[in-house]
Structure 1
Amino acid sequence: MSLILLASSTFLVAQTTNTQKDSIYIQQVENHKEPDKVLHAEPLYIDLIRDLGAKKGEKEWNLGLGLTDNLEFDAYEALIEYEWAPIDRLGLEVELPFTLYSPQSGINRGSIPSNRLNSIKIATQWSFFVSVPMATSMALGYINEFELSDFRSFGSPLIKGNVYNPFFVIAKRWGNNFHSLIYTGPMIEQSFISNKFHTTYDINTSFHYMISGTRNFIGVEFNKTIDRGNFDMTMRPQMRVVVADNLLVGIVAGIPVSRENERFSSFLRLIWEPNHKHK
């Protein structure tokens, strides 16, 4: 009986300590100095330009590495991005995404896409609503993507098109641990070669559980695209692990639910926060 009581008291102390850590960390983010900011879990695959309610001086480097298994080839993704907040509640980002292709056995390399620096992406995001009592934030943003020619025809032309991508974000934290977020908007692609436009619409939803006493979380994204009446969705279970006070690692798996040519995928994101200090 004494062992049971001891184990129960130890568990209660650990739970209380973790709850206290959660409350302290949330208070650090949501201090009462202007402007307000709410702690939200940010999805790892379709990430935000900057934290919702970002404060001046925040900055972050991201390095992403991914693998997608297609029917005829494997696609290796790599990206490097830098995001920062020049003023309160305004986030800016520059990203360079690469894709390298490797044919499956028996497939001619000439029949698959060419390796490429996909584009130069510049983006902005403004948090126009932040409510600490409601634990809710909203933001409007815009991504402009200058699409580049692949390496086979690089420079002919150099920029082959442009993607216009306005978006809306709303996030809500439920208690200390549960987080939900919706990220949605159209992607309007313009080809400079044919001068034609192609529009798709993305609806990305995510749900996360932040583990008590840590910044680690587990969760899932549902990345949905509507394209000319067709509906595609990929489910991305994920986790984030804190390696050091200013270094985090995100691990993502991709499970296509209704995609004809894509199979399983994986993605790794390294997040470095140069000015993050643990309090």
Structure 2
Amino acid sequence: MMPIFLLVSSTISFAQISNTQKDSLYIVQIEEKKEPSKVLHAEPLYIDLIRDLGARKGEKEWNLGLGLTDELTFDSYEALIEYEWAPMDRLGLEVELPFTFYSTLANNGGAATPSNRLNSIKIATQWSFFVNERMATSMAIGYINEFELSDFRNFGKPLISGNAYNPFLVVAKRWGNNFHSLIYTGPMIGHEFESGEVHTSYDVNTSFHYMIPGTRNFIGVEFNKTWQHSDFDMTMRPQMRLGIADNLMIGIVAGIPISRENERFSSFLRLIWEPKHK
């Protein structure tokens, strides 16, 4: 009878395991799968990372994003496509093409509407210099460079109208199995080639997430804060991530401006596909 009992015991379905056990198994799958060490963190959906903290060689991900923002006198529609990958352990690279399209609102008082544009060609890198499984903490430094392009109305006159430089620091901490916090901060320096003007701002993006027990789904919020000279803007972005398949997820984000003069509510969707890797 003993072999039959062992066979029955070994075929208990994953659905019968408690959510706490599922969380632990998923964390083990991510963190103890292979070297180097890696900590599972919830990644914010609007200001996302270049690659997972503690990225392992061969990881890759495609993102498609769509957004809508009420800009008082017109609506702006955001679209982006990005590809990120890890050519070596703990190093992430990314290429992104962000577009913005505009629609004039009725009764806008004759205000001008910007021209549609491919905003820039964005390239980025991120290096995870600290990964500690016992502390469930990761840190990374990175750099984003944006070659800013002329709008479609004046495309090619010139082709590249400016450059934006954005070094950043990321610090993330998981509390237990389900609670996650993250800080993403750094300056943004924009240089307009024709006028020679340089614009500097500083961003501090903080996020807090709760991963639903037994799943990869989470709910949370980002606080995107920007200082530029004496001006301060902040947008609160409640969000959720839902798993559609093993390697396909969708992120849903709402934008609520707290201190912003020229913007009302916004929404954003992010489709995340992670191709299998060895």
Q: TM-score, normalization: structure 1?
A: 0.92
Q: Distance in 1 between matches of 2:17 and 2:34?
A: 27
Task: State the SS of the aligned residue for 2:135.
Answer: coil
1:235 counterpart = 2:236: yes
2:63 corresponds in structure 1 to 62
Q: Distance in 2 between matches of 1:176 and 1:257?
A: 31
Could you tell me which amino acid in structure 2 is paired with residue 246 of structure 1? N
Deviates more, 1:261-270 or 1:23-32: 23-32
2:38 corresponds in structure 1 to 37
Give the CA deviation at 1:107: 3.4
1:152 corresponds in structure 2 to 153
Could you tell me which amino acid in structure 2 is paired with residue 239 of structure 1? M
1:269 corresponds in structure 2 to 270
Task: State the SS of the aligned residue for 1:26.
Answer: helix
How many residues align structurally?
264
Q: Distance in 2 between matches of 1:191 and 1:261?
A: 22
What pairs up with 1:187-202 in 2 under 5 angstroms?
Answer: 187-202=188-203
Q: Distance in 1 between matches of 2:110 and 2:52?
A: 41
Q: Distance in 1 between matches of 2:111 and 2:219?
A: 40
Task: State the SS of the aligned residue for 2:29.
Answer: helix
Q: Distance in 2 between matches of 1:90 and 1:273?
A: 17
- Structure 1: any 5+ residue segments left out of the alignment? 1-13
Task: State the SS of the aligned residue for 1:23.
Answer: helix
Aligned residues of 1:64 and 1:267 also touching (Cα < 8 A):
yes
Aligned residues of 2:58 and 2:277 also touching (Cα < 8 A):
no
Give the CA deviation at 1:106: 2.6
Which of structure 1's runs of 4+ aligned residues deviate more than 2 A? Answer: 106-110
1:28 corresponds in structure 2 to 29
Deviates more, 1:234-243 or 1:267-276: 267-276
Q: TM-score, normalization: structure 2?
A: 0.92
Give the CA deviation at 1:127: 0.1
Q: Distance in 2 between matches of 1:231 and 1:53?
A: 32
Identity, in percent, stands at 79
Aligned residues of 2:64 and 2:82 also touching (Cα < 8 A):
yes
2:52 corresponds in structure 1 to 51
Q: Distance in 1 between matches of 2:74 and 2:16?
A: 48
2:130 corresponds in structure 1 to 129
Could you tell me which amino acid in structure 2 is paired with residue 272 of structure 1? W
- Structure 2: any 5+ residue segments left out of the alignment? 1-14
Aligned residues of 1:102 and 1:109 also touching (Cα < 8 A):
no
